[in-house]
Chains A and B, each alone.
Chain A
Amino acid sequence: MTITDVQYYVDGVLARNRRVLSKTITMIESSLPFHQNIARNVMERLLPYTGKSIRIGITGVPGAGKSTFIESFGMMLLKRGLEIAVLAVDPSSKKSGGSIMADKTRMERLSAESRAYIRPSPTGRTLGGVAQKTRESLLVCEAAGFDVVIVETVGVGQLETTVASMVDFFLVLMIPGAGDELQGIKRGILELADAIVINKADGDNVPRAHLARQEYETALHLVNPASANWSPPVLTCSALEERGIEKVWETILDHKRQLGATGELAAKRKDQSLEWTRFLINEGLQEWFYKNDQVSRKIPDIKGKIEAGLITPTQAAQDLLSVIMISGASDDALQREENEK
């Protein structure tokens, strides 16, 4: 059933065929090596066509209003004549592995628009899994000519760091709480943010939103800005009532102008690519390590010893690593040579 012709995907994406774009993302996300292989080849050919869109990451706690914000924000962008793609990463249930993706119920108008493309993706059991693929999906959307690509992710675990490392502009959506805003907020997220937007500034919430804004402003002063040319602003908006949304877009454009002029944006993307490569190597190494026969044979034994208190974790790691350092590497090299013959 799977179409194996790489050029089919490439042509389809470049021709902005939604069906093919969707199938390409499916290939990227697939856990089958055979699909991944197709995806890699497609990516390679699409790469020259990437780089032209504005990449925005949006994170926030569950229920912060990310999807609603994207609905309003996206509709506003469409009115300005832009085409947009949204990649929404949804956590899956640990127990069943399945998921319910209701993102589009919050993006009712946007999802019906022909100039908008929205793709929800389940994380699968490992949170990091799909987030990594999202980077490639983002590039595919870019190649398909979308002016703006938005990645929505829930602010949990490592997800937000991963997403921050693939976008030009990382927006953190907050909600006004009961006053003690900063409690429970990870400092790390403030360091990642290019802007903090306090959503739900409507109705009874307005005063609280303004209070929160001041507190975040103070907090941001204590964080070293990532760029000398950009100090992340704190804004308020109401995604529901569509107020303050334009200001966010202007801020993003400002950011692009400022950092674009100094060449920082280009540098940021290059850094991200290097960072990405490093990440992929680490992932690959891990996978390769755990798949190694000798390692997997040895693991139960070592596990038992740790549990029995016979060796320290440091010693245990050393023991396992030494397996591949001595024999595993050469084994594997041999194996590869054999394959190539």
Chain B
Amino acid sequence: MSKHSGKEQWKHLAERELKGNPVESLNREAPGGITLKALYTAEDIEQYECTNTLPGLPPYLRGPMATMYAGRPWTIRQYAGFSTARESNEFYRRSLATGQRGLSVAFDLPTHRGYDSDHPRVSGDVGKAGVAVDTVEDMNILFDKIPLNEISVSMTMNGAVLPILGGYIVAAEEQGVKHNELTGTIQNDILKEYLTRNTYIYPPLPSMRIVSDIIAFCADAMPRFNTVSISGYHMMEAGADIVLQTAFTLADGLEYVRTALKAGMDIDTFAPRLSFFFGIGMDFFMNVAMLRAARFLWHRLISRFNPKNARSSVLRTHCQTSGWSLTEQDPYNNIIRTTLECMSAVLGGTQSLHTNSFDEAVGLPTDFSARIARNTQLIVQEESQVCHAIDPLGGSYYIESLTMSIVEEAQKIIDEIEEMGGMAKAIESGMPKMRIEESAARKQARIDQGIETIVGVNKYKSGETPDFEIREVSDDVRVQQIVRLQEIRKTRDNKVVAKALENLTKAAERGGNLLQHTLPAVRARATVGEISDALEKVFGRYVATTLCISGVYASEYRDKEIIESLRRRSELFMEHEGRRPRILLTKMGQDGHDRGVKVVATALADMGFDVDISPMFQTPGEAAKMAVENDVHLVGVSSLAAGHKILIPGLLTELAQIGGEEIMVIAGGVIPPRDYRFLYDAGVSEIFGPGTSIINSANKILNLLEKQFMG
């Protein structure tokens, strides 16, 4: 049945419908180098042996479990955390009471980066983008009345993974729960932090040792706990297409496997406890196929190590729908987007899922928006009847072909990385980060031109701004945390703390399992910052290398006229002022979202600006110093982690103090519109929210400059 008898006839008909154009004119070039046809038939998949396989059995393409959702539906696991431990705890308990099955803790950025709430570098960040945790006392409150032997807990923690995982273990101890009863996941995936998530603390080598020590500790003491959640989600959100996400994630996985093997572990003692985390975007079928392809590839990659336990090569994954696909404009559209993405994840066979809230591009979810997000999954799970059949799209000509195309393209990139010596080496070279940023810049250019539709943003704009509650975390949280910290430092036995920290530093220096050595310090009420410092003494703090791409935005932008006209204006400005418009783009506080700042930087340079980029994590004072030394015309602040009301006025004050008061300040990122007035009053000249086309931004910036200097 290889060649379809009617294929020629179909082609003939199709070309008539296309008014003489070839059927190939219907092909679509999908990102990742995959060409999609309009029609697939049996012919397209007969070469693949794996299509007619079974779930729960190699190569696991159709699912990691034999019964999948027919046996038990996926776990609804919403990522959440904000403000104090007390407030987050109450939120968790309300969620568990209304249909959520497992917890997933979002920590604030100071905690992620190993700083206590009273550290001078975190003045704008405490409790803003997650829950603030300084000691095990906070952990105890966070899990208050949540029995840790029953509820599985997932924790997104990578940088400060030792004090936080330690804090969770000790909180369980103090609840009377034994180590081996604990179920859940620690993200503990440091490699992708260097690539996209930016909450690293130490350099790669000691960080990989931490990962491996945790794997070893848990293999022994916490056999039901997932020790690494190998994450592609963050790469996708930073701009990676499906093929890049698949390839880089699995390559990261391989690197962890090798690290554990090198540390002397047996593959079967740890591989079954590696789990994955994928991001699910709007390209509906592609995302379904991606999960299937990833399972197939992981099985193939791990089989090389000859595991005896079948579970060692099974890819189990959590998924999250794409926050990047959600918009500030016409925000209720986001519910629809999230539903589609939810369906993709489910049809792809995820084990657990987070669905985003419709207020994603404005702030952390409120109780209301979180309920709608959770209900999205509940409705799919309990009303739509999709759970009944296992891998319902299996056998579809299209899905199976897509699956194998992704396998092939991703394998090519994995091979390329293997040739470089593995993912750690590849990351060192900057290759994966550059690929992701390039992909992000292309995407931005395509959206800015309207080649890719985003309803309500670049097409079918409504202009309406619906009014709904927005979560705002009070600056008071920092004060509360500081008071608690002072109290704890006063009441604990500081000698015991000092001794425990000293032992930890020694272990970092001379060897010994670092998680093992962290626990006594946590029990003694050492803080997250103190424990991190004890390690930093030996390991040092990592500074990221910022590589910049150039020319990508302009080359993807087809309307060269527009680019040229902006370039001419930069040129005219130079003729008038003696130099090009010069802008410093900066990220202040612990906010690690750099996708926006990177695309804006590369696009503005393409339009003839001289663009200075500051290091990440600046204090307002540091940013001001840089602006003055580089003598820029303006500073552009990109702020996504809710520190804008503290950090931006801080910058303006600092600028004035060192004679830079005439330097204009503009801002962009996730800034709720109701804060605009406050920022304008503080002296900000212009604000560019999510969804602003960079062409528009450049135009407005030039307007500002022309008015100020040439007007």
Q: Is B579 an interface residue (CB 8 A)?
A: yes
CA distance A120 to B608 in the complex (A): 17
Contacts of A95 on B, CB cut-off 8 Å?
Answer: 551, 554, 606
Which residue in chain B gives the minimum CB-CB distance to A33? B578
Minimum Cβ distance to chain A for residue B394 (Å): 45
Shortest CB distance B302–A (Å) = 26
Instruction: Determine if B622 is an interface residue (Cβ-Cβ < 8 Å).
Output: yes
* Chain A residues positioned under 8 Å from B614 (CB to CB): 104-105
Report the bound CA distance from A98 to B658 in whole Å. 27
Complex interface: stretch among B129-137, B266-274, B357-365, B542-550: B542-550
Number of interface residues of A (CB under 8 A): 37
Residues of the B chain whose Cβ atoms lie less than 8 Å from the Cβ of A20: 659
| Contact yes or no, A22 B630, CB < 8 A | yes
Interface residues of B in 623-664 (CB under 8 A from A): 625-626, 628-631, 658-660, 662
User: Which of A19, A29, A114, A118 has most B Cβ within 10 Å?
Assistant: A19
- Binary contact readout A92-123 vs B (1 if CB under 8 angstroms, 0 otherwise): 11011111111011101101101001111010
With contact pairs A102-B548, A104-B626, A108-B615 given, residues A96 and B578 touching in the complex (Cβ less than 8 Å)? no
Residue of A nearest to B598 (CB): A100
A256 on the B face (CB < 8 A): no
The answer to the question of B335 belonging to the interface, with a C-beta cut-off of 8 Å to chain A, is no
Assembly CA distance A106 to B546 (angstroms): 8
Q: Once the chains bind, are B626 and A96 in contact (CB under 8 Å)? A: no
Residues B631 and A23 in contact, CB atoms below 8 Å apart: yes
Minimum CB–CB distance from A168 to chain B (whole Å) comes to: 24
Confirm or deny: A26 has a beta carbon within 8 angstroms of a beta carbon on chain B. yes
CA distance A118 to B615 in the complex (A): 13
Task: Determine the distance from Cα of A332 to Cα of B625 in the docked complex, in whole angstroms.
Answer: 46
- Shortest Cβ distance from A112 into chain B, in angstroms? 5
Are the C-beta atoms of A102 and B630 separated by less than 8 Å? no
Cβ–Cβ contact A97 & B608, under 8 A:
yes
Q: Is the CB of A19 within 8 A of B579?
A: no
Q: Contact: A111 with B622, CB < 8 Å?
A: yes
Per the 8 Å Cβ criterion, residues 178-193 of A in contact with B are: none
Restricting to B546-580, which residues have a CB under 8 Å from any CB of A? 546-548, 550-551, 554, 567, 570-571, 574-575, 577-580
Closest to B614 in A: A104
- Once A19-B659, A105-B613 are accepted as A-B contacts, the answer to whether A96 and B554 lie under 8 Å apart by CB is yes
- One of B577, B612, B625, B708 near A112 (C-beta < 8 A): B625
Q: Is the CB of B628 within 8 A of A30?
A: no
B615→A25 contact, CB < 8 A: no
Whether B611 and A100, one on each chain, are in contact in the complex, defined by CB atoms closer than 8 angstroms, is: yes
In the complex, which of the residues A25, A95, A114 has the most CB atoms of chain B within 10 Å of its own CB atom? Answer: A95
Chain A residues with Cβ below 8 Å from B545 are: 105-106
A122 proximity list for chain B (CB < 8 A): 580, 610
Q: Is A308 an interface residue (CB 8 A)?
A: no
Asked if B79 is an interface residue, CB under 8 A from chain A, the answer is no
Assess whether A208 is interfacial by the CB under 8 Å rule: no
B554: nearest chain-A partner, CB-CB: A96
By DSSP majority rule, is chain A's interface helix, strand, loop, or mixed? mixed
Decide: B544 and A26 in contact? CB cutoff 8 A.
no
In the docked arrangement, what's the CA distance between A109 and B545, Å?
13
CA distance A77 to B580 in the complex (A): 33
Asked if A98 and B577 sit within 8 Å, CB to CB, the answer is: no
- Contacting residues of chain B (384-407) with chain A, CB-CB under 8 angstroms: none
> Does residue B10 face the partner (Cβ distance < 8 Å to A)?
no
Q: With A112-B625, A122-B610 given, is the CB distance from A30 to B546 under 8 Å?
A: no
B628:A100 contact, CB within 8 angstroms? no
Most chain B CB within a 10 A radius of its CB, from A20, A26, A96, A120: A96
B604 CB-CB contact with A under 8 Å? yes
CA distance A1 to B662 in the complex (A): 10
A35 to B631, CA, bound (A): 15
Of listed A19, A95, A100, A112, residue having the most chain B CB within 10 A: A100
Note all chain A residues with C-beta closer than 8 A to B659: 17-20
Does residue A32 face the partner (Cβ distance < 8 Å to B)?
A: yes
CB distance from B671 to the nearest CB of A (A): 24
> Which residue on chain B has the smallest CB distance to residue A95?
B551
Once the chains bind, are B571 and A97 in contact (CB under 8 Å)? Answer: yes
In the docked arrangement, what's the CA distance between A31 and B570, Å? 14
Determine which residue in A25, A31, A105, A117 has the highest number of CB atoms from chain B within 10 A of its CB, and name it. Answer: A105
Cα of A111 to Cα of B608 in the assembled complex, Å? 25
Given contacts A19-B628, A122-B610, contact A100 B543 (CB under 8 A): no
Q: Which of chain B's residues have a CB closer than 8 A to the CB of A112?
A: 619, 622, 625
A92 contacts across to B, CB distance below 8 A: 610
Please report the C-alpha to C-alpha distance between residue A20 and residue B658 in the assembled complex, in whole angstroms. Answer: 10
Residue numbers in A under 8 Å from B601 (CB-CB): 100
Q: Compute how far the CA of A322 lies from the CA of B509 in the bound complex, rounded to whole angstroms.
A: 76
A94 to chain B, nearest CB (A): 10
Contact B608 A18 (CB under 8 A): no
Complex CA distance for A72 and B574, rounded to whole angstroms = 35
Chain B residues with CB below 8 A from A111, complex form: 615, 622, 625-626, 629
**Inter-subunit contact B579/A102 (CB<8 Å):** no
Minimal Cβ-Cβ distance residue in B for A109? B543
Q: In residues 232-278 of chain A, which contact B (Cβ within 8 Å)?
A: none
Expressed in whole angstroms, the minimum distance between the Cβ of B662 and any Cβ of chain A is: 8
List, in ascending order, chain A residues with CB within 8 A of B631's CB.
22-23, 25-26, 119
Chain A residues near B625: list those with CB within 8 A: 18, 111-112, 114
Contact between B611 and A99, CB atoms less than 8 A apart = yes
**Complex Cα gap A122–B604 (Å):** 14
Asked whether A96 and B567 contact (CB < 8 A) given A31-B579, A32-B578, A117-B629, the answer is yes
B657-710 interface with A by 8 A CB criterion: 658-660, 662, 708-709
Query: Whole-angstrom distance between the alpha carbons of A92 and B662 in the complex?
Result: 26
Contacts of A100 in B (CB 8 A): 548, 550, 601-602, 605, 611, 613
A97-B571, A105-B544, A106-B546 are known; give 20 further A-B pairs, CB within 8 A: A18-B658, A22-B628, A25-B631, A26-B578, A31-B575, A31-B578, A93-B606, A95-B551, A96-B554, A96-B608, A98-B604, A98-B607, A98-B610, A99-B605, A100-B611, A101-B613, A102-B613, A118-B629, A119-B631, A120-B630
**Which 3 pairs between the two chains have the least Cβ-Cβ distance?**
A30-B578, A19-B659, A32-B578
11 A/B residue pairs, CB under 8 Å, sorted by A: A17-B659, A18-B628, A18-B629, A31-B575, A35-B578, A93-B550, A98-B606, A102-B547, A102-B548, A106-B543, A111-B625
B residues sitting closer than 8 Å to A (CB atoms) are 543-548, 550-551, 554, 567, 570-571, 574-575, 577-580, 601-602, 604-616, 619, 622, 625-626, 628-631, 658-660, 662, 708-709
